[in-house]
């Protein structure tokens, strides 16, 4: 007991009243160390949110593409994926041809006049175009429109073929493919142009065999088919040397073997020129045969140069390997 009658407190038994020890000098409650909670940061607006739904789709698609590249760096596809890609490219190509056919529908009249020009240039009027059925005119217009559509849309469906094959090719293979494609288009165009120049003479010579006093009623569809086949045959004949060069680049045909078969090449060139040129004069046939032979020899020369370059590359690699082994 103390002098005033109060109970004496034991030392160390005093308990802190309230939470004065948690108060600061200005009366505010002191915060315990480590008790602060981090403030939740407001999420920044992503690119997808800033640009709306279309931007969000593009952004997510880009993320999926990058993630797929990390998981599949070589870009391999399953058989089902290849078939799906092939179907997609085919549908796009078909749609392009259909759009071109719509354009060809409006170009039908001038194109048909150009095809029928060899017949209109004949001196006599014994040759006439005949439509045998009621729907023959509509059928002919549809076929010509489709051919025009295939020609007009050729850059589009050629691109679709390249886009399907391109991912499986290396960089140098893509360069070779583009070069072969451009040269092939130029050669086919040259062959088709020569056929267009040759068609009037061919029609005039063939119609000269019609007996006097008779008329030649040509079915419209048959004549247009003959004209188109003539153009395609000439175009393909100009592509044969490029095909031989492509086989050489693939390692399937050597320049020596091509040069060894030059006799057969000459004979086939003259036979094709004789069949494709029904003219009485031998000079057009000879000129075309020499053009085909020149293209064949150019293919042999390109193949020989390609083989020399490859041989030098292999010899250089062998020299490097020999030097490395000698150092070891």
For 254-311, the pLDDT digits (tens) are 888 888 888 998 898 888 887 776 566 677 778 888 888 888 998 899 888 888 888 8
- Give the percent of the chain with pLDDT over 90: 10
Please give the residue range of the domain that contains residue 295: 78-308
Given this model, what pLDDT does residue 24 score? 52
Given this model, what pLDDT does residue 191 score? 87
Residue 196, in any domain of the structure: yes
With 60 as the cut, is the pLDDT of residue 119 above it? Answer: yes
With 50 as the cut, is the pLDDT of residue 69 above it? Answer: no
Residue 155, in any domain of the structure: yes
Q: Exposed (0-12), middle (13-18) or buried (19+): which is 59, by Cβ within 10 Å? A: middle
Q: For the ranges 56-70, 71-85, 99-113, 132-146, which has the lowest average pLDDT?
A: 56-70
With 90 as the cut, is the pLDDT of residue 99 above it? Answer: yes
With 80 as the cut, is the pLDDT of residue 230 above it? Answer: yes
Residue 26, in any domain of the structure: no
**Alpha helices for the chain (secondary structure H):** 47-50, 52-71, 79-106, 108-115, 117-120, 136-152, 154-165, 171-207, 220-249, 255-260, 262-276, 282-327
Instruction: State the pLDDT confidence band at 145, using cuts at 50, 70 and 90.
Output: very high
Which helix (H) or strand (E) is 218 found in, with range?
strand 216-219
Domains contained in the chain, number: 1
With 80 as the cut, is the pLDDT of residue 326 above it? Answer: no
Residue 10, in any domain of the structure: no
Q: For the ranges 68-72, 169-173, 177-181, which has the lowest average pLDDT?
A: 68-72
Residue 292, in any domain of the structure: yes
Rg for the chain, CA atoms, rounded: 41
- Contact criterion met (CB below 8 Å) for 298 and 242: no
With 70 as the cut, is the pLDDT of residue 174 above it? Answer: yes
* Model confidence, pTM: 0.64
With 70 as the cut, is the pLDDT of residue 67 above it? Answer: no
Residue corresponding to tokens 């005949």: 130
Q: For the ranges 59-63, 122-126, 238-242, which has the lowest average pLDDT?
A: 59-63
**Cα–Cα dist 84/292, whole Å:** 41
- Give the percent of the chain with pLDDT over 70: 70
Residue 45, in any domain of the structure: no
Highest mean predicted confidence (pLDDT) among 30-44, 86-100, 227-241, 270-284: 86-100
Instruction: State the pLDDT confidence band at 126, using cuts at 50, 70 and 90.
Output: confident
- Contact criterion met (CB below 8 Å) for 221 and 143: yes
Residue 315, in any domain of the structure: no
Given this model, what pLDDT does residue 92 score? 92
Residue 58, in any domain of the structure: no
Given this model, what pLDDT does residue 51 score? 47
């Amino acid at each position: 007991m103390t002098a005033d009658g109060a109970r004496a407190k034991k030392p160390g038994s005093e308990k802190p009243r309230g939470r004065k020890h948690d108060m600061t000098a200005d009366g505010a409650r002191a915060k315990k160390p480590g008790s602060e909670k981090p403030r939740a940061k407001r999420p920044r607006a992503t690119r997808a949110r800033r640009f709306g739904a279309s931007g969000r789709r593009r952004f997510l698609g880009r993320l999926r593409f990058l993630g797929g590249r990390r998981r599949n760096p070589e870009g391999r596809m399953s058989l089902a994926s290849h078939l799906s890609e092939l179907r997609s490219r085919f549908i796009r190509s078909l749609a392009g041809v259909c759009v071109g056919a719509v354009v060809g529908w409006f170009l039908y009249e001038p194109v048909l006049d150009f095809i029928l020009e060899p017949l209109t240039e004949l001196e006599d009027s014994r040759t006439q175009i005949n439509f045998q059925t009621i729907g023959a005119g509509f059928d002919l217009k549809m076929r010509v429109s489709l051919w025009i559509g295939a020609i007009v849309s050729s850059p589009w469906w050629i691109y679709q073929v390249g886009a399907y094959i391109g991912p499986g090719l290396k960089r140098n293979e893509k360069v070779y493919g583009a070069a072969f494609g451009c040269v092939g288009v130029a050669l086919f165009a040259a062959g088709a142009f020569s056929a267009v120049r040759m068609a009037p003479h061919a029609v005039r010579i063939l119609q000269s065999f019609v007996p006097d006093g008779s008329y030649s009623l040509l079915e419209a569809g048959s004549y247009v088919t003959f004209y188109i086949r003539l153009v395609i045959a000439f175009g393909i004949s100009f592509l044969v040397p490029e095909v031989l060069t492509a086989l050489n680049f693939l390692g399937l045909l050597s320049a020596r073997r091509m040069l060894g078969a030059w006799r057969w090449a000459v004979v086939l060139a003259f036979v094709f020129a004789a069949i494709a040129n029904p003219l009485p004069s031998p000079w057009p046939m000879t000129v075309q045969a020499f053009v085909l032979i020149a293209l064949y020899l150019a293919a042999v020369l390109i193949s020989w140069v390609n083989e020399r370059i490859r041989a030098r590359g292999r010899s250089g690699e062998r020299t490097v390997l020999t030097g490395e082994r000698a150092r070891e």
